[in-house]
Amino acid sequence: MPAIILRTSVKCTDEQKNSLAKGLSKICADNIGKPESYVMSVVQDAATICFGGNLQPAAMLDVKSIGSLNANVNATLSKAICEFLATSINIEPNNIYINFTDVARENWGWNSGTFA
C-alpha cells in the first residue's frame, strides 16, 4: 500500500523511467519496512517545474503509506530518494521536494475495497 509518485522536469528514456520506477519502489519498501509487493511507484517525466523562480532540473515526489511514516523514516527516505535521483537523472537534492502523507486505512482503496 505504500505509493511513491515522482514528477520530474527531466525528459527520460523508457529505460530510465523503468529504472526510476523500480529503484523508487525498492527504496520505499526498504525504508518503510513493508513488502515491495505492496508498493506502487509512478514516474511522470518532462513536467514543467519552476523551482525558486527558475526552470531547471527538479522533482516533486509524493510518498503515501498506511502507517510506518514518521520523522525518522521520512528523513531516511528523503536522503535515499535525493541520492538516487542525483545519481540517476542528475537532479540536485536542493531542487527536490518530497511530501509525506500517512493515510488512514479507510481512505485507501484497493481490489474493490479499502484496507479498513
Residues with catalytic function: 2
- Find out whether 77 and 14 touch, Cβ atoms under 8 Å: no
5: cell is: 509518485
Query: What residue has cell string 481490489?
Result: 111
- Find out whether 41 and 28 touch, Cβ atoms under 8 Å: yes
Query: 21-27 long-range CB contacts below 8 Å, 24 or more apart?
Result: 23/84, 23/88, 24/81, 24/84, 27/77, 27/80, 27/81, 27/84
